[in-house]
Amino acid sequence: MDLATIIGIVSGVALVVTTIVMGGSPKIFVHVPSMMVVFGGATAATLISFQLKEVLGVLNVVRKAFFSESTDNVALINRIVELSKKARKEGLLAIDKEVNQIEDAFLRSGMEMVVDGTEPELIRNIMETELSYLMERHKRGQDIFSALGEYAPAFGMIGTLIGLIGMLQNLNDPTQIGGGMAVALITTFYGALAANLVFNPIAGKLKNRSEEEVLVKEMIIEGVLSIQFGEHPNTIQRKLMNFLSPKQRVFEE
Amino acid sequence: MDLATIIGIVSGVALVVTTIVMGGSPKIFVHVPSMMVVFGGATAATLISFQLKEVLGVLNVVRKAFFSESTDNVALINRIVELSKKARKEGLLAIDKEVNQIEDAFLRSGMEMVVDGTEPELIRNIMETELSYLMERHKRGQDIFSALGEYAPAFGMIGTLIGLIGMLQNLNDPTQIGGGMAVALITTFYGALAANLVFNPIAGKLKNRSEEEVLVKEMIIEGVLSIQFGEHPNTIQRKLMNFLSPKQRVFEE
Amino acid sequence: MDLATIIGIVSGVALVVTTIVMGGSPKIFVHVPSMMVVFGGATAATLISFQLKEVLGVLNVVRKAFFSESTDNVALINRIVELSKKARKEGLLAIDKEVNQIEDAFLRSGMEMVVDGTEPELIRNIMETELSYLMERHKRGQDIFSALGEYAPAFGMIGTLIGLIGMLQNLNDPTQIGGGMAVALITTFYGALAANLVFNPIAGKLKNRSEEEVLVKEMIIEGVLSIQFGEHPNTIQRKLMNFLSPKQRVFEE
Amino acid sequence: MDLATIIGIVSGVALVVTTIVMGGSPKIFVHVPSMMVVFGGATAATLISFQLKEVLGVLNVVRKAFFSESTDNVALINRIVELSKKARKEGLLAIDKEVNQIEDAFLRSGMEMVVDGTEPELIRNIMETELSYLMERHKRGQDIFSALGEYAPAFGMIGTLIGLIGMLQNLNDPTQIGGGMAVALITTFYGALAANLVFNPIAGKLKNRSEEEVLVKEMIIEGVLSIQFGEHPNTIQRKLMNFLSPKQRVFEE
Amino acid sequence: MDLATIIGIVSGVALVVTTIVMGGSPKIFVHVPSMMVVFGGATAATLISFQLKEVLGVLNVVRKAFFSESTDNVALINRIVELSKKARKEGLLAIDKEVNQIEDAFLRSGMEMVVDGTEPELIRNIMETELSYLMERHKRGQDIFSALGEYAPAFGMIGTLIGLIGMLQNLNDPTQIGGGMAVALITTFYGALAANLVFNPIAGKLKNRSEEEVLVKEMIIEGVLSIQFGEHPNTIQRKLMNFLSPKQRVFEE
């Protein structure tokens, strides 16, 4: 898990809890019915919009986004350059065995097609369809969390309205206003917290992670096709190096 | 109907009703004039923007989005691959009978044109126009529900303003403020609930369902044209498999 | 005028008026200075952004959007197909007289160019420029109403702020708060009502109407060029039929 | 200056001032520190985002947008058609003298390149780069006013928060609440007024004016290249007429 | 550092501080726990969305945006034109030494490829990938500050809700309301101030600076390829001059 994420979650929760405890009445902030109306309502609205399998599948997407390692781009480029050298020296058929040992599934499947003699146009077509499918899945994950991030504050407001209306309706004793308002506002608090410390940051994470993965996959497509075209390993390296940040490049060159 | 939708609707309504009942004064939340100003107002504003037949037609679109089954993509791909095998072996004219038995209307109409010897460019043109028309109809449906989802909270606020102004104007007895406010806030509550538990989730559903259907239709166009070009069934299968999620692919291969 | 629009306007106004009257103090809702600050202010801000002739011209655009009939697409397609039959049989020059009798100005001007022997590229260029000009005019109309729909609530809030500040400043007698607040809120009410029952729905209508007209015009361009290329009437009919909704197609075929 | 702008500014200011005066306590609305926090704050935030020369240059852009005359498109088209006639009859070199007398700088510089025998591709490239640069400058102007239009209400709210916090902190005498609130709200009022009567309308004006100018410049590019290609003056006229609204066309033809 | 930025920061801070001091109770505005919940919360939510190295790297991006000098475009164009003259006279190989002395890294690396005889297509590909990578990094920087600018007011509201709920809950003595509200509102104030005087202006600065840099880099790509194609220095100058504002051009020509 990325260090930033851990720091973010721990410090975010710690800050909010500390602020609540310092306020002197932490008990009121643990209110199960309020939690249910906010989280349940936001989940219900999201379930209406999406299919069950998508909503369940999203946990998988999140798990990957937070726990899977970033690809080591430099190692990947070196791998591709090696393959291109061998292919140039010994021919495309000779690298058959090498290809089976490639750990990156996307690169391996691309190289397998090269070895099989598939036409470049079809390889590009298949790899890009695969890539666009991946983007689509990521996009769906972001959409689900963005929906939760919009519905949570909305149901927070709905909960507060229910509380306010009930309280105002039965208002005999003005000294009760304070307590009633406090309870009514808890759902707004939950909604704001859920959206800004959970749902929206996760949606952001999925978006950023997706952009990274797409970049890597585009680099792999470029590399696979360059090998097939028999380009010079130096040219391939130069091309792919462009996908790295300048800092990484300096290190490796 | 998708399970998620049923869970969403039932649990969403249950949560809100429970919260209201727990608040102790559920009667105030059933207020017909408030309902009318919110739902009537939002519907009126939407009717001004769209044509009557579009607004009436939208119910049909919603019914399909929620009740029609998802297409079984794997079966569809198998069907297309079978057709391509037969066409390759026996010629395009030989599959005339098969074509008449295709259950998917879009695939059938495409294959009919192939059998009739229509030019590929025209087939693509006709099928894509059909597809873009479908997207247009879906888009209109989403637009209508998005409009309702924007106008409902707006008329909720308008209702609350009317209530507040009337109450404040006649404010002789300060003890009446509570009750007046409670009634005034009911329309805001209806507006928020209608938008977030009904209109916006439906708009979201239409958008997601539309994206799925478009994907299937694009796959069919790809398949029909591949058959016409006489591509090898294996190539066709490989191409179309890319439209499936990796999970589905593993199962079938 | 489209039935939906009439129903929308009548029911929307009726609902709001009924709600106000039921509140018991309808007189306060008729407040000329408040109307002036909201409508005058929104109009003033809009006039600064646009040219006078554009703002005046917008009324014309609105009139057309609400009162002109939808084009009968089926009749139009039949007309084009007839023309194509005659042109194929008797030559392009022979349909000169027919062309003069075409009622649709856009189709007629296109066919005139065909009869004159204008090059296809130029015909497409001229018709598409005309179309893009039409879209631009519609877009300007929508922009003006969207601007009004944004400025009206803003000036509603400005009016309320002026009222509130004045009232709070002179607050000697706390029992006056209610009345002062009531008056101050009137402008917010006008702003919300104007935006949500007038300006935004009209902007939406213009957008929807524009999309329809563009579709029809694109169909005409397609038809005119197909006639010039001498395509078979059946092919032309098939192509143009795609612009119809499936329901309309069934009826006609 | 466009009449609409003058009407807009005068009537907008008059309406707001009248409303304030009718409220009975106009003095409170002139509060220099509040003005400074709103206008100063919005300007400060904008200065951080842009370069000094851009912010200073924006006044120039505004001046042009409001005071420069709209181009007379009809006259311009006639000018281009005349040039094309002469060029056709006497050759491109013969119009050298005419070209020097063209008053529109953009048309003149384009025609100069034609006379110099510059290649069409380069002429288009240079004229379009010039056009895109103009759009960029206009865009920057709009961005600056949009930024001001966003920051002004934000600093209005910041000012009100400062006022509220100070007042609530020192709240010994409840009768002081009214006056304190009134003063605190002044900044919110300034922010709303500045955004909705000044900054946003100007940003809108720049956008609209830019679209017009771009249209004219595109027409000129089309005309210059048509002359170079030696197209028939009638064809050129027909092409350029498309850039006019139908009303203008009727008048001229 | 750009003068506008310094003026913006100094005047913005001065205005807010002056307003606070004039309010008479400046001490309440320095409240460390409130600062922590707003800045800490916004940072925490941002850390969850991005990677640690990105968030740390952003400071570098900001430093560059504010402190690095704008490129002197005129000097750069002159440099390119000189190179093109020499290359035309003495051949591409002869400018090897000149190329090593070019101070602009992007121009130098481009010219090195020219001297090495790299194919134009590859040069364009490599330079544009580099450029798109740069844009990506700038975009990420903007995204981080936009995220902070959205989360800061959100956590300001969360802090205020915590304060309000705590205060209302323990409301025995109505005279305490004022002070409690004042403290609760401090976080909203911090959130608004952080977003509008720090985070959003910086995001704007990064966007504007990025657009400038991209323009310069595009000009360099154009120049490098023109030199390789052996275009006439005058043509190159004319082309590149188009990237300057008219004012700069007048000066230089």
pLDDT tens digit sequence for B28-62: 899 999 999 999 999 999 999 998 888 888 888 88
Our CA angle for D37, D38, D43, nearest 5°, is 95
C253 pLDDT higher than 70: no
Q: What pLDDT score was predicted for residue A251?
A: 43
Q: What are phi and psi of C232, to 5 degrees?
A: -70, 135
Closest C-alpha to D147, from D54, D56, D43: D43
Two structure tokens written together for A186: 């808890």
Q: Give chain B positions within 8 Å (CB) of C193.
A: 158
Query: CA distances (Å), E207 to each of D138, E200, E215, E223, in order?
Result: 16, 11, 13, 25
pLDDT at A179: 82
Pick from D63, D42, D54, D45: nearest CA to D140: D54
- The amino acid occupying position C132 is S
pLDDT at B163: 92
pLDDT number for residue C247: 67
Per-range mean pLDDT, top range of A146-150, A244-248, B172-176, E55-59: A146-150
For C69-75, what is the mean pLDDT? 81
Taking the C-alpha atoms of residue B201 and residue E160, their distance in angstroms, rounded to an integer, is 30
Q: Residue B101 gets which letter from DSSP? A: T
pLDDT tens-digit series, residues C77-104 = 999 999 999 998 888 888 888 888 888 8
Checking if the pLDDT of D206 tops 50, the result is yes
CA nearest to C106 within chain D = D246
Q: What is the mean pLDDT of residues C186-206?
A: 95
Question: Which is nearest to D141 in space by CA: D76, D68, D65?
Answer: D65
Q: What chain E residue is nearest to D57 in terms of C-alpha separation?
A: E247
Pick from B188, B200, B239: CB nearest A161? B188
How many contacts, defined by CB atoms under 8 Å, are there between B and C? 146
Give B59-100 pLDDT, tens digit per residue.
Answer: 888 887 778 777 788 889 999 999 999 998 888 888 888 888
Q: What are the percentages of helix, strand and coil residues in chain D, rounded to 5?
A: 85, 0, 15
Query: Using CB atoms, which residue from D46, D133, D161 is nearest to E189?
Result: D161
Chain B residues bordering chain C (beta-carbon distance below 8 Å): 33, 36-37, 40-41, 43-52, 54-55, 122, 125-126, 129-130, 133, 137, 140, 143, 147, 151, 154-155, 157-159, 161-171
Question: Which of D34, D36, D37, D49 to probe the E interface (max E CBs under 10 A)?
Answer: D49
- In SS3 terms, chain C reads as CCHHHHHHHHHHHHHHHHHHHHCCCHHHHCCHHHHHHHHHHHHHHHHHHCCHHHHHHHHHHHHHHHHCCCCCHHHHHHHHHHHHHHHHHHCHHHHHHHHHCCCCHHHHHHHHHHHCCCCHHHHHHHHHHHHHHHHHHHHHHHHHHHHHHHHHHHHHHHHHHHHHHHHHHCCCCHHHHHHHHHHHHHHHHHHHHHHHHHHHHHHHHHHHHHHHHHHHHHHHHHHHHHHHCCCCHHHHHHHHHCCCCHHHHHHHC
Query: Which of the four pLDDT bands, split at 50, 70 and 90, describes residue E251?
Result: very low
Task: Identify whether the C-beta of residue E239 lies closer than 8 Å to the C-beta of residue E226.
Answer: yes
Contact C224, C107 (CB under 8 A): yes
Task: Please tell me which of the candidates A44, A154, A165 has its beta carbon nearest to residue B28.
Answer: A165
Residues 6+ apart with CB under 8 A from C47: C55, D4, D5, D7, D8, D11
Q: Which residue of C has its CA nearest to B135?
A: C245
Instruction: Indicate the angle between helix axes B41-49 and B52-67, nearest 10 degrees.
Output: 110
**Please, which chains are in contact with E (at least 3 CB pairs closer than 8 A)?**
A, D
Task: Say yes or no for a CB contact (<8 Å) between A202 and E161.
Answer: no
For chain C, the chains sharing at least 3 beta-carbon pairs closer than 8 angstroms are: B, D
Give E134-162 pLDDT, tens digit per residue. Answer: 888 888 899 999 999 999 999 999 999 99
Other chains touching B, judged by 3 or more CB pairs under 8 Å: A, C
Cα–Cα distance, A9 to E47 (Å, whole number): 8
Q: Determine the pLDDT at residue C250.
A: 53
Chains C and B touch (3+ CB pairs under 8 A): yes
The count of other CB atoms within 10 Å of the CB of residue A133 is 16
Residue E220 has pLDDT above 60, yes or no: yes
Q: How far is A162 from chain E (nearest CA, A)?
A: 17
Chain D residues within 8 A of E20 when measuring between CB atoms: 162, 166
Which chain A residues are closer than 8 Å to E167 by Cβ?
Answer: 178
Whether residue B251 is predicted with pLDDT greater than 50 in this model: the reply is: no
Assess contact for A183 and A160: CB atoms under 8 A.
Answer: no
Q: Quick one: tokens of D172? A: 């010994």
| CB atoms C182 and B163 under 8 Å | no
Q: Which of C75, C132, C104, C108 is nearest to C227 (CA)?
A: C108
* pLDDT higher than threshold 60 for residue D247: yes
CB distance D170–E11 less than 8 Å? no
Question: Which position has the higher pLDDT, B56 or D252?
Answer: B56
pLDDT at E249 over 70: no
C-beta separation of D240 from D223 below 8 A: yes
Are D52 and E28 an interchain contact pair (Cβ–Cβ within 8 Å)?
no
Tokens at residue A26, please? 């932490």
| pLDDT tens column, D78-87 | 999 999 999 9
**pLDDT at E252 exceeding the cut of 50:** no
Mean pLDDT of chain A: 87
CA distance E211 to E108: 21
Q: Pick the more confident residue, B205 or C134.
A: B205
Give the type of residue at B234: N
Q: Buried b vs exposed e over E214-233: b needs ≥16 C-beta within 10 Å?
A: ebbbebbbbbbbbbbeebeb
pLDDT class of E247 with cuts at 50, 70, 90? low
Give the pLDDT score at E107.
93
Decide if C37 and D20 are in contact by the 8 Å CB cutoff: no
Which chain B residues have a beta carbon less than 8 Å from that of A108?
A: none
Which of C2, C25, C175 faces B170 most closely, judged by CB atoms? C25
Which residue is it, tokens 């941002």?
E46
Per-position b or e across B138-160, b if 16+ CB within 10 A of its CB: bebbbbbbbbbbbbbbbbbbbbb
Interface present between D and E (3 or more CB pairs within 8 Å): yes
Higher pLDDT, B56 or C174: B56
Which residues of chain A lie closer than 8 angstroms to B218, CB-CB? none
User: CA dist B170 to C160, C162, C182, D178, E57, Å?
Assistant: 19, 22, 9, 21, 61
Query: Cα-flanking dihedrals φ and ψ of residue E244, to 5°?
Result: -85, 160
pTM of the model: 0.91
Question: How many other C-beta atoms lie within 10 A of the C-beta of residue D33?
Answer: 18
What gap in Å lies between CA E10 and CA A56, rounded to an integer? 51
Average pLDDT over residues D63-73: 79
